[in-house]
Structure 1
Amino acid sequence: MSPAVTPRHARHSAGLMRSMYLPRTADALAFAMCTYGIPLLVLATTRSAALTGAAFALEWIPRLAAFGWAGSIVDRRGAAVVFHLASLGRALVLAAGAALLHFYPSGTAASATVLVLAATTGVLTEFSYIAAETAGAAAGRQAGKRAHRVQAALLGIDQTATLAGPALAGVLLLAGAPTMLAVITVLSLLAAMLALRTPPSPVAPAGAQRGRSGAGLLTGWRTICSLPALGWLVTGLTLSNLATGLLQAAGPVIVVQHFGQSTTAVGLVWSAAAGATLLSVTICWFALDRLGLWPVGAACAALASLACLAAAQAPDYWSYLVLVAVLMAADGGMTVVLRTLRSRLIPPEKFGSTLSATILVLLLPFPVAGALTALTPPDALGHVITVCAGLQALGLLYAFARLRADPALCA
């Protein structure tokens, strides 16, 4: 069969690996190595815990502030263009940082370099992430009823990168900061080149582009409010993220002080959680084919609520590890449902702005969880986690009860 008569969906499916999965893999690995490797780099360069914390803030505060701009620009210029330029910009910044650290490995110049790297890579990575997610949603829409498979594959790529990225960054840092930055530079360049193959996403009409760069989050929020199914799911997951974020923030205190384990045991908890999430995504791939969005989402919500309530009362370290892994696996299943739903419901020309608003709302509970951890005495953390787990259960129960007969989830 010639290309001229090959069905469009067949050509799309055959090209997903080159046009979507490969660029997403390169970008996700660079994302994970920047997110976890830059703070390690700051600590290795400055030997200062205070500057390491400052670098973490510099990495995330501009990233959160960039959400509105990122979504608006993706809507106006298209996902492929923004994906390419953001990845290319990150590569140039990292290459410059590697050169500076090669000539000035310590001192004030090195400290300034790594702090600037934290801020700039955070912003550029956010742009590439929003663009990649928008392109993934466009691929999901073209996949039709198999959209959940595309989203499950993309989430699996992200989780694999989260597993491999921090470990790879730590190993490369042993060979020197320039070496680590050089490898992330190569990955960013690879993502930039592969992004040119990304299918074009719909852009906003020319008349709608004016004056929208500062109103991206407002546009996204209005779109969420106009889509009840998406709004209820985001509400339930936001309450769920408060409990999940509290477990993440309080994890070192619980594992080290309460259970008497080492700091390495803290990392083992989240490595097990990432592995369980990968398994969960694979299971959801097949379950969604047979059962649909609502049954799978409701089952994951119930499992996450029960696991979080039990984790707050875990009697020992190993039961705590298993319960956290179950919680994160269930959360991974709900994330597949969310990604599939938003690719179905959000208008393509407003997807970037709405995605930015959605992610920002879902991330807001994490700094709240950090503040709760800081203000709560260690002996009382279990009670606070129990309260948050109760809010999670009520929020998810109410959200999925409202979504029970919604055509978007029952189709």
Structure 2
Amino acid sequence: MYLPRAADAGAFSLATYGIPMLVLATTGSAALTGLAFALEWIPRLTVVGYAGTLVDRHGPVRVFRLASTLRALVVFAAAVVLLARTGGTETTVMVLAAASGALSQFSYVAAETTGADASRQAGNRAYRVQSVLLGVDQTALLAGPALAGLLVQWTGSTGLLTTCAAFSLMAAVLMPPRTAASDTAASASAEPVHARGFRTGWTVLLERPALAWLVGGFVVSNLSLGLVQAATPVIVVQKLGHSTGSVGLIWSAAAVASLLAVAVCRGAISRWGLWPAGAVSATVAAGACLAVAQATTYSAYLVLVAVLMAGEGGLTVVLRTLRSQLIPARVFGATLALTILLLLAPFPLAGLLVAAIPPGQLSQALGVCAVVQALALAVTFARLRTLPGLRPAHPCHPSRTGEPPHAHTGTAEPARSQRASVRAETVHAR
């Protein structure tokens, strides 16, 4: 499972960060760069519900292999068209952004479901599975942007798209045809459920207010994060006067900061609980976003974006932990798809804002979004403080660890076993 996950994460990272750089390098237009960013995310929102339902019905392995193969074909075809230079460059890169975004969503939902199923089957060793998967994702986020920037700068569209197609094809080939996780998904989809697709996800979300509030706070926060991601190529290249390779360096530095923050947040959750770790991460993210809007040099921009992504990394650990605890296994794909839809909705809006706002006013727009983000996160964590899902943990009181009430069975277990179970679930979720 780890090898195809690594190849898919590499293709995902190259496409997500490399296509906007490619558009800017190919067209020189800030508006088209923002539009391409939006076109990457809009198809993801369109297909995410269908992706979750498809994974629940047919298993993650089949969906993963098909999506990865189609993405390799689409990206390679775009590389051939751009290399031929027969015209229609703008149309080609826009279609590429939309198609790769949609196919990446299918492979992402399938990969997440596979990882969650494998972790549940691992039992007390689940933390080993999740730690490897988290390391794979963070390594891709570390290497992908820097590699994309260098490929665009030195090889143009051919090198970037060929490499992305190769990673996609490797992911499809390396995924084994049958795994225990795929059997789990198939059996889960055969069970009767009260609703399908988004109705199932909404039911789960509404029954778990802690998860609902956290997702709501993330939705508002992601508008600022999306604006930073969409505007960074324009700000770095046109305002700060650096190359596309420098853009990739920013996101690689941000990935390092995020990886360190995940490790710190892991220990903080074990010692103090979900709420304190999430509140501190939210404070760091909101403060850094406010500072990014005021950055005037490349070095300051790089450092502040890294701090921003560190805060976002801590928040993501909290979200993944709570999501893994609260979502039932048999409808994990559908509910995950709904949360993904909600969390990704601000990203195409951010791309449209970059396309519509003059480049000289992007910093002011980012400042406004940062203020809204700070207010939203403050309200979210003030509300979460009263909910049981994020109460601080205490080593002598297992009931305060944040474990959801429905996770308990009718049989009482010894305190030591209960604490061990809670710790294993928390590590598994991370």
Q: Same fold (TM over 0.5)?
A: yes
Deviations 1:379-400 (A, max 9, x none): 7665554443333223222322
Say yes or no: does 1:33 pair with 2:17: no
The DSSP-based 3-state class of the residue aligned with 2:185 is: coil
The 1:37/1:72 distance shift into structure 2, 3 A limit, reads same
Deviates most, 381-390 or 272-281:
381-390
The match for 2:256 among 252, 275, 281 is 275
CA distance in 2, matches of 1:115, 1:313: 31
What amino acid does structure 2 have at the position aligned with 1:283? V
> Is 1:286 aligned to 2:248, yes or no?
no
Q: Distance in 2 between matches of 1:74 and 1:360?
A: 15
The equivalent of 1:161 in structure 2 is 140
Counterpart position of 1:202: 185
Task: Say how many residue pairs are matched.
Answer: 385
Distance change >3 Å, CA 205–CA 318, structure 1 → 2 = closer
- The separation in 1 between residues aligned to 2:353 and 2:72, in whole angstroms, is 37
1:364 corresponds to 2:345: yes
Unaligned runs of 5+ in 1: 1-18
CA distance in 1, matches of 2:368, 2:88: 47
Report what 1:184 is aligned to.
164
Deviation at 1:202, TM superposition (A): 3.0
Q: Distance in 2 between matches of 1:299 and 1:360?
A: 26
Q: 1:141 to 1:393 in 2, by over 3 A?
A: farther
Greater alpha carbon shift after TM alignment, 358-367 vs 177-186: 177-186
Distance in structure 1 (CA, Å) of the matches to 2:135 and 2:334: 24
1:244-263 maps to which residues of 2 (within 5 A)?
244-251=225-232, 260-263=240-243
Identity %, equivalent residues: 57
| Aligned CA distance change for structure 1 residues 374 and 86 (closer, same or farther; 3 Å) | closer
Asked if structure 2 preserves the Cα contact closer than 8 Å seen for 1:148 and 1:336, the reply is: no
Aligned partners of 1:30 and 1:184 also within 8 Å: yes
Q: Is the 8 A contact 1:297 1:334 kept in 2?
A: yes
SS for the counterpart of 2:311 is helix
Q: CA deviation at 1:232?
A: 0.7
Q: Which residue identity is paired with 1:139?
A: A
TM superposition shift of 1:225: 1.9
Shift of 1:67: 0.9
For the residue of structure 2 that corresponds to 1:154, the secondary structure is helix
In 1, the alpha carbon distance for the partners of 2:315 and 2:211 equals 12
Amino acid across the alignment from 1:67: V
Separation in 1, partners of 2:148, 2:304: 28
Q: Deviations over 1:135-178 (max 9, x none)?
A: 22223434567767755653443232233224434555655756
3-state SS in 2 of match to 1:262: coil
Question: Once superposed, what is the RMSD of the aligned Cα atoms?
Answer: 3.8
- The answer to whether the aligner puts 1:234 opposite 2:215 as a matched pair is yes
Q: Deviations over 1:82-131 (max 9, x none)?
A: 11222233334445556x559x7221588876665444333222100111
CA gap 1:318/1:110 in 2 versus in 1, 3 angstroms: closer
User: Is the CA contact 1:155–1:281 (under 8 Å) kept in the aligned structure 2?
Assistant: no
Question: Which residue of structure 1 lines up, in the alignment, with residue 305 of structure 2?
Answer: 324
- The range that moved more, 49-58 or 340-349, is 49-58
Inter-CA distance 140–211: structure 2 relative to 1 (3 Å threshold): closer
CA distance in 2, matches of 1:343, 1:106: 48
For the residues of structure 2 that align with 1:116 and 1:220, how far apart are their CA atoms? 30
3-state SS of 2:84 partner: coil
**Contact (CA 8 Å) 2:37, 2:230: kept in 1 or not?**
no
- Alpha-carbon distance in structure 1 between the residues aligned to 2:344 and 2:365: 19
Q: 1:331 to 1:64 in 2, by over 3 A?
A: same
Corresponding residue SS for 2:385: coil
Task: Give the corresponding residue for 2:102.
Answer: 123
- 1:179-209 deviations in whole A, cap 9, x for unaligned? 6544434322322233226533434443758
Counterparts of residues 79-90 of structure 1 (less than 5 Å): 79-90=60-71
In the aligned structure 2, how far is the partner of 1:225 from the partner of 1:303? 28
Q: Distance in 1 between the 2:23 and 2:361 partners?
A: 33
1:355 corresponds to: 336
- Find the residue that maps to 1:230 and give its secondary structure: helix
Per-residue displacement from partner, 1:276-325 (whole Å, max 9, x unpaired)? 11221232333334333222222211222232334444575544433322
After TM superposition, give the deviation of residue 366 of structure 1 in Å: 2.6
- Name the counterpart of 2:116: 137
Give the direction of change, closer, same or farther, for the CA distance of 1:344–1:63 in structure 2 (3 Å limit). Answer: same
Relative to 1, partners in 2 of residues 1:166 and 1:383: Cα closer, same or farther, differing over 3 Å?
closer
List aligned pairs for 1:307-322, cutoff 5 A. Answer: 307-314=288-295, 318-322=299-303
Kindly state the Cα deviation for residue 227 of structure 1 after the two structures are TM-superposed.
Answer: 1.6
Is the alpha carbon distance of 1:242 and 1:39 closer, same or farther for their aligned partners in structure 2, counting shifts above 3 Å? closer
8 Å CA contact 1:138, 1:343 repeated in 2:
no
Change (3 A) 1:119 1:348: same
Cα separation, partners in 2 of 1:37 and 1:380, compared to 1, 3 Å: closer
Q: Which moved more, 1:326-335 or 1:87-96?
A: 87-96
